Amino acid sequence: MIPRYTRERMAAIWAPENRFRIWFEIEAHACDALAELGVIPQAAARAVWEKGNKPYTAERIARIDAIEAEVRHDVIAFLTELSEHVGEPARFIHQGMTSSDVLDTCLAVQLTQAADLLLEDLEGLLAALKARAQEHKMTVCMGRSHGIHAEPVTLGLKFAGFHAEFHRARARLQAARQDIATCAISGAVGTFANIDPRVEAHVAHQLGLSVEPLSTQVIPRDRHAAFFSTLAVIASSVERAAVEVRHLQRTEVGEAEEAFAKGQKGSSAMPHKRNPVLSENLTGLARMVRAYALPALENVALWHERDISHSAVERMIGPDATVTLDFALVRLTSVMANLVVHPKAIERNIAMTGGLMFSQRVLLALTQAGVSREDAYRLVQRHAMAVWDEGGTLLERLKADPEVTAKVPPAALEPLFDLSVHTRHVDTIFQRVFAGA
């Protein structure tokens, strides 16, 4: 990913220093297990740790790259450079293993590290959403369907809805993390022909992974497909929240907007502009994370026990998807935590349609009074359309219609236009969303 959308902690997971460190630990832990089983000398396993356990500096990485330029094989280049430090005992490194044992197990470690950071991001976002939901629990605002005024909701319910969604996202990511955290040290085609399964179990334990039940030469890619698909779903939730902010910030709505910092400028041409640029950016980033899911799904079908059509894909989508989503979650947290709410605009919009939002209440009252649903709908819609076209209020028009007041007297119509009816179950909804959260 480009630096503009990259946070340092996530970038470090995909840096060569971390990757080669994980490769080293896989090989060194495997040597420990092989020594314990009597396959290689104990002294050789000790030498790997004592002589090879050094930071992967820029010089070491450059040396590995130089070797790879000649041998054109990244794992062989890594092992060759490691042997230059370990010396003669290096002949016992990588006994019975294949490159994918190192590459796939390393990728599992990196993806679990990335998942842990993303889970931290989600915790921060959930905290921000909960705080804003409580703050605006009873801030009544217009609910909209198809972009048109429907019935009142509260701003707190909007935040609570996002909280519920990202709570599900956290559970999905936790499951995806567990699913991806598997180790394969099973040899050339996964049969353990030249290495004992106990080596795999030892390496898995040391790295905090579980053992892959059956690896061919690779860990099955359905695991990776599920992981990246989970990131894509989370990104879609990010976009849903961002789109809501974008709509609320529209001039014609104006109910909430992104914080606009002192000295910030919204347009090179129009000094008056305050644009929802962060939320628009989140929409774009979400598109990218979703785009990385498709190649992960296509990686599932490899030839026989293994080919490398997945390799180049994962070298790209592993860093890019996790880096992008990490940035997006942190940005969304900031947007939500600092979102500026405009109560006067909310009140203006509630009053804009002259009480049309209570049409269902009147419809139900008429049916309760003995009017058929079809006739009740016709009566209410007739007056509602007049309010749309000519103005006035729905209550005034209903009171002036003898056909309506014959069934529901004017005094009985007025309580139907009480906003509080739309908030009477907010506490129940909040209890559902935040119980134990």
| Residue 436: pLDDT over 80 | no
Q: Does 298 score more than 80 pLDDT?
A: yes
Shared-domain flag, residues 171 and 67: no
Residues 104 and 21 in one domain: no
Token duo for residue 197: 């399964």
Q: Is the domain of 112 the same as that of 253? A: yes
Annotated catalytic residue: which of 100, 136, 146, 420? 146
Q: Into how many domains does the chain fold?
A: 3
Helix, strand, coil abundance in the chain, percent, nearest 5: 70, 5, 25
- Return the structure tokens found at 387: 């309010």
The pLDDT of 325-347, averaged and rounded, is: 98
CA–CA dist 359, 121 (Å, integer): 42
Determine the 3-state secondary structure of 433 from DSSP: helix
Active site residue 267: yes
Closest CA to 355 of 296, 413, 282: 413
Do residues 194 and 86 both lie within one domain? no
**Residue 146 annotated to the active site:** yes
- Check whether residue 379 and residue 405 sit in a common domain: yes
Distances (CA, A) of 193 to 37, 49, 79, 206: 15, 26, 21, 23
Looking at the domain assignment, is residue 268 inside a domain? no
Question: Residue 48's domain spans which residues?
Answer: 3-92
Both 235 and 371 in one domain: the answer is no
The answer as to whether 337 is a domain residue is: yes
Query: Distances in Å between the alpha carbon of 237 and those of 289, 301, 396?
Result: 11, 28, 42
Residues 136-149 have pLDDT tens digits of 999 999 999 999 99
What is the structure's pLDDT at 437? 73
In terms of domains, do 336 and 374 share one? no
Task: Report the share of the chain in percent with pLDDT over 70.
Answer: 100
* Residue 61 dihedral angles phi and psi, to the nearest 5°: -65, -40
Question: Could you tell me how far CA 256 lies from the centroid of its own chain?
Answer: 23
CATH number of the domain enclosing 407: 1.10.40.30
Tell me, yes or no, whether 305 and 374 share the same domain.
no
pLDDT(99) > 80: yes
Which tokens belong to 225? 């497909």
**Active-site annotation holder among 167, 202, 267, 342:** 267
pTM for this one? 0.95
Judge if 168 and 284 occupy the same domain: yes
Over residues 231-284, the pLDDT tens digits come to 999 999 999 999 999 999 999 999 999 999 889 998 889 989 999 999 999 999
Same domain, 191 and 290: yes
Domain annotation covers residue 436: no
Within 10 Å of residue 96's Cβ, how many Cβ atoms?
Answer: 18
Residue 421 lies in a domain: no
Do residues 374 and 338 share a domain?
Answer: no
pLDDT range class, residue 2, cuts 50, 70, 90: confident
- Whole-angstrom Cα distance, residue 10 to residue 329? 12
The enclosing H or E element of 145 equals strand 140-145
Q: Work out the pLDDT band at 78, boundaries 50, 70, 90.
A: very high
Angle separating helix axes 197-207 and 16-36, nearest 10 degrees: 130
For residue 247, the domain's CATH number is 1.20.200.10
Phi, psi of 138 (to 5 degrees): -115, 20
| Parallel/antiparallel/unpaired status of strands 148-154 and 140-145 | antiparallel
Mean pLDDT, the chain, rounded, equals: 97
- φ/ψ region of 66 (left if φ > 0, alpha if ψ in -120 to 50, else beta) reads alpha
Distances (CA, A) of 26 to 31, 337, 394: 9, 42, 73
Q: How far is CA 310 from CA 221, 222, 301, 306, in A?
A: 9, 12, 9, 9
Distance CA 108, CA 181 (A): 5
